[in-house]
Amino acid sequence: MASWVGMRATATPSQVDAVARAIRSTPIIDHHAHPLLKLEALNKHPLLAITTEANGDSIDSAITSLPHLRAVRQLAAVLGCGYTWESVVAAIEEKRLECPEDWTAECLFGIETILIDDGLDNEDDANAYPWHDDYTRSRCKRIVRIEKIAADIIRRLGSEKVTLDAVFDEWTSKFDAYIMTALDDPDVVGFKSVVCYRTGLDITNESSSLLERRASEDLKRLIAEFGELDFVKLRTKSLNDFVVHRTAQLIRDNPFRQKKPIQFHTGLGDNDLALSRSSPSHLQEFIRQYPTVPIVLLHASYPFTREAGYLASVYDNVYADIGEVFPCVSQDGQERILREILELCPWSKILWSTDGHWFPETYLLAVTQMREVFETVLCDYVRKGHIGWRAAVDLVRDILFKNANKLYHLDIDFSELEEEAVLSQAAYQSDAEILRAFLKNQPAPDFVRICWTDFTALQRMRMVPFRKFTSLLSEGKPTDVGITAAVFGLIQNDWMVPGTSATGEYRLHPDFSSLKKGPVEGHISMNGEFRQKSGARVPLCPRSILQRAVEFGAENNLSFLIGFEIEFLLVDRVEQKPGNTTRYSTLTTDGHAWSVSRYFANPKIAALLRDMVATLEDMGIHVEQLHAESATGQFELILPPYPPVEAADTLLHTRDVLSALATAAGFKMTLHPKPFAHACGTASHMHLSVVSAGGAGNGGDKPEIYESLYAGILKHLRGILAFTYPNPASYERVSDGTWSGGRWVTWGTQNRETPLRKIEGSHWELKFLDGLANPYLAMAAVLFAGVRGFAAREPLVWGDCEIDPAKLTANDRKELGVSQMLPASLDEALRALREESGELVELMGPELVDKYVALKEYEMDFLKKMGDEERRQWLMERY
């Protein structure tokens, strides 16, 4: 142990999770956005504009863009509607009719304050910037668009018939007065230039006197022709350049030490843009000319992101914004943009904004997509060691809050997050620290197991000698192992599903927070998570999918505890003789029955059960109950509740321990759902309860919280069974009147003949799960469906069924809303998943569902070729 005292720290999954939590929870100072439309003006503007800068006829093509398709999926998930644009539009219109205030609040959730550029066209259709205060915790502030001010003054002067000789001085005087007033106004925190739209960012660097003379001549000509022109915007280069220079000079010469910034639109924009002159590189001379004037380059300067990052890195007064590309650019593009800005630019010079405008959905999409992309990129950097986890948390808080708070002199209190940061830094340990603490006062093990569970629910692993594993940690090298990308295309005998390739590789990363002794002496075990070489999540990784489901719950302010009942069967091993294919037989006992005590008089079995509980206790897994079940040799062991991922990890490790101890004692432990036709089946019932809803300290035992959750599960239950009853043998156990949860989609209080048994409050038992299911996938499907129901306020249309639903009359079923039966076969369950549960497929991931269904169909074909007894024995060998 002393040989690795000096090992370098690498990021643990819990530390990576701390970064993800910072991304999801840090309040946002939205330093550049636009006002929302008044309710009566919403239908005057196309909703399609939420993901595109196109307008006119070209906007219709947006529906075939990747940003649009992504937005449809995300909005549908929030709105609880179908995954089509028509369904999303209908659902948004319904929100506008029901309670637009609530919908706006939901869309702007997480935004601390908005700095609003209110200089867009159609300003009469928009709400004034103070109106937005109702939806942010801190008061909103104003950004003054300088070209609009200049144009408004020109319009007034033109209508007032000011003499041409005096018009330039009059215009300049009024413009100066407005800017000076804005500099003194505490509600104005900055200025905005759209010279990029008008005449381009190649602002002249000629002398002030020459620029004034040219601008004066152009203004006189404009005023002289004013009656003949339909003047709307400033489009003369000399006047545009003069306005920008004049604003910068007034900011520079203002006596206050705290200078208010100028924001420049750069890059991405509508077809009114001078694209060839929209790169921020054109601003370099202007930047040098005003070194004390803060300059913000908006919109990631897309597609000139690297230019913006360079300028912000070498000029003290330049800052790079990475807004608007969320949601107007695809996910891959957004990830690339974030990586490009971080290639060179210090994060202390980076700001983030929504560029939200007109529609509240633009804010929702921008925040949702930003958090998704930040998590992908930054957690990847942390895992690779490019940045420490504490630094990554600082980066997030700086970009989303602190940099804007400082630049715009907002003085918003950040003390709560500072306190959380101190607590977080004290709470998280490195992998090496976790391992040291785990092995304290214990002999070093021989092997480290890194485990995973495949689509067939086989528990697989790689073993690394302990000395090699600790040397990797000591040298600061990764402890992940390479696994073929075919891993999720294999059935139990390692045959590959057609279409699966043996090429490619994933990296299996051990999660040190899942460390456990065993399952056999001299071994320690961890569960792993599959990652791409880049560090990105593998969409097919079951453990990652469950983590996503937990995150989906957290996004909806829900957290859960899950506990499992492990039913298992002990059978005798039959001595193999020529012609005898039977390997396992029922134990010879004296009248086995549910909860009988006589079984524990058998010294061999009593010792085994005692050793099981004691061994788990030594591993920190504290068994709550143990009793005999109904079938001969069948027992049930009840585990304590844990958060979802930990619950699945613990379930799998416990099964490994029980199997190892049973084998050592001369028995075979099996999880086969129906190993003997005339005996009670074997399940793996799951207990689910809501720990918090709506924030810490708020429990989930209110019917308005948990009823919609369980309604979502019942709504998708037929499709969920593809993951929870994943083998043809699973359906041999499902029958009415056997306490197995029955065959009807319904629920009942303390009713063991329904698939969902309500116990108390939000604590319900889910009986539709067996030991052949991958628990990560099964729990993910349940949580995704439940959280989706909660988010959509799904009504619990099923009444409380108080008797065996198989005994209900047709009228009883109609009254209780019991209309569907559970699938009678795996084939039917897979069809239900694909044809009836589109929302669940989207949440689990279409790529995963396609791969899973293909594997299950191949597995079914393989098993059908066996006789009944051969198939039963084959499955008992493996489960």
Which whole-number Å values give the CA distances from 123 to 30, 126, 128, 314, 575, in the listed order?
20, 5, 9, 37, 87
Half-sphere exposure of 414 (CA within 13 A, CB side): 21
pLDDT score for 873: 86
Q: Is the peptide bond before 805 cis (omega within 30 degrees of 0)?
A: no
Amino acid at position 466, single letter: F
Using the Cα atoms of residue 285, residue 289, residue 292 and residue 293 in order, give the sign of their dihedral: negative
CB 72 within 8 A of CB 84: yes
CB 651 within 8 A of CB 616: no
Distances (CA, A) of 206 to 99, 203, 238, 618: 55, 9, 11, 80
Tell me what pLDDT residue 658 has: 93
The helix or strand, by DSSP H or E, that contains position 647, with its residue range, turns out to be helix 644-664
Q: Is the dihedral of CA 497, 503, 504, 508 positive or negative?
A: positive
Nearest partner of 464 among 447, 482, 442, 440, judged by Cα: 447
- At 30 the pLDDT is 97
Tokens linked to 221:
């000509």
pLDDT of residue 573: 82
Q: Are strands 686-693 and 763-766 parallel, antiparallel or unpaired?
A: antiparallel
CA pair distance 415, 427, nearest whole angstrom: 18
What span, in angstroms and rounded, lies between the C-alpha atoms of 249 and 807?
85
Residues 464, 484 contacting (CB under 8 angstroms) = no
CATH topology of domain 552-840: Creatine Kinase; Chain A, domain 2 (3.30.590)
CATH code of the domain occupying 432-538: 3.10.20.70
Q: What are the phi and psi torsion angles at 115 (to 5°)? A: -100, 110
- Distance from chain centroid for Cα 548: 6
* pLDDT of 580: 66
Query: Do 552-840 and 432-538 fall under one CATH topology?
Result: no
By the 8 A CB rule, do 38 and 127 touch? Answer: yes
Those residues with Cβ within 8 angstroms of residue 575's Cβ, 6 or more apart along the chain or in another chain: none
pLDDT of 420-465, one tens digit each?
555 555 556 678 888 888 888 888 999 999 999 999 999 999 999 9
Question: Structure tokens of 30?
Answer: 């939205």
- Is-contact 591 686, C-beta < 8 A? no
| Domain edges within the chain | 22-49+99-427, 432-538, 552-840
Contact call for residues 32 and 115 (beta carbons, < 8 A): yes
- C-alpha separations of 115 from 32, 33, 341, 361 in Å: 5, 6, 22, 17
User: What is the number of alpha carbons within 13 Å of residue 798 lying toward its C-beta?
Assistant: 28
Pick the CATH number of 22-49+99-427 from 3.40.50.450, 3.40.50.1370, 3.20.20.140, 1.10.3470.10: 3.20.20.140
Q: Within the chain, what is the greatest distance between any pair of CA atoms?
A: 116
Amino acid at 500: T
Phi, psi of 130 (to 5 degrees): -65, -20
For residue 871, the number of C-alpha atoms closer than 13 Å in the C-beta half-sphere is 17
Query: Taking Cα atoms as reference points, which of 654, 662, 528 lies closest to residue 587?
Result: 662
Q: CB burial class (10 A; 0-12, 13-18, 19+) of residue 462?
A: middle
**Alpha carbons 504 and 354: distance in angstroms, whole number:** 38
Residues of the chain falling short of pLDDT 70: 1-13, 227-230, 416-429, 576-577, 579-582, 589-591, 599-601, 693-700, 737
Helix (H, G, I), strand (E, B) or coil at 573: strand
Q: CB count, 10 Å around CB of 831?
A: 16
